[in-house]
Structure formats: C-alpha cells, structure tokens
Structure 1
Amino acid sequence: MSDKPTLWQTLLSVLSGFFGVQSERNRERDFRNGRPLYYILTGLLMAGLFVVGVILLVRWALSLAGV
C-alpha cells in the first residue's frame, strides 16, 4: 500500500515547514512519496494568502488609526 500524502497532510507539511517544526517521519514521507509540484504549488498559494492577509491587516490598522 502506498503511503502517499493526502491533501490535508500536504497542507500540514507545508505549514509545518513555514514554522520549521516538521517531524522527521513526515519529512521522510513527503520526500519518499510526495510529488514536489504539489508542495511547491501549496507553498506558493499559502505564501500568497499570507501576503494578502498582511496587506488586509495593515489596511485595517491604518483605517482604525484614521490614516
């Protein structure tokens, strides 16, 4: 049986990678059975969402400050 990472496991692996807390077991699973393209696309999507979130947070803070 293949131990291919599910979509949820891929998201958690990328998120763990962002924080640098990926477990050795999951890292090995990702490198052995995962497709790099899925991790790259997930990482780019999550980075984009982070940037948009920061922009929205700054705009909200500036509007509260009356700027």
Structure 2
Amino acid sequence: MDDPIDNKPPTFWQMLHSVMAAAFGVQSGKNRARDFTHGKPSHFVMIGVLFTAVFGLTLYGIVKLVLHFAGV
C-alpha cells in the first residue's frame, strides 16, 4: 500500500501524516523515502505552513481558554 517503490504520488492524507510526523520528529524511513521520491516539495511546504498555522492557533486558543478560566 505505502510502498516507496510504487510510482504514485502520495495522497493528501499521506502528505498530512508525513508533515505531522516530521513536525514531531517521528517520521519513518519508509515514508520519508516515499516523500522524497514521489512527492512535490511545494505540496509539503503548503501543508507544512497550514499545519503550523493551525497548530499555533490551537495553542493560542488553549492558552486564552486557560487564562479565561483562571480569571486572569
């Protein structure tokens, strides 16, 4: 299914999984090989920027929620 020898480009979900795994430092060698062999760098950059923005906004929202409940 996720064979790096396969010539199909990674799907959106495979790229999102790779970006999330890479962000947390747990990317597998098999997926990394697939990404570098068949993926387009521009797609990974766009998904990475989007993931970083969503992650940052989520952290911001959590901090605002905690501060609200703490009465600060």
- Match status 1:18 vs 2:38: no
Structure 1 length-normalised TM = 0.94
Which residue of the partner structure matches residue 3 of structure 2? none
> What is the TM-score of this pair, normalised by structure 2?
0.88
RMSD (Å), alpha carbons: 1.0
Q: Give the superposition deviation at 1:35.
A: 0.2
Instruction: State whether structure 2 residue 47 is matched by structure 1 residue 42.
Output: yes
Q: Do the aligned residues in 2 keep the contact of 1:11 with 1:42 (CA within 8 Å)? A: yes
- Identity across aligned pairs (percent)? 40
CA shift, 1:2, in A, is 2.2
Number of aligned positions between the proteins: 67
Long gaps (5+) in structure 1: none
Secondary structure of 1:5 counterpart: coil
What is the distance in 2 between the residues matched to 1:10 and 1:38?
Answer: 8
More helix by share: 1
The answer to whether residue 58 in structure 2 is matched with residue 57 in structure 1 is no
Which structure 2 segments of 5+ residues have no match?
Answer: 1-5
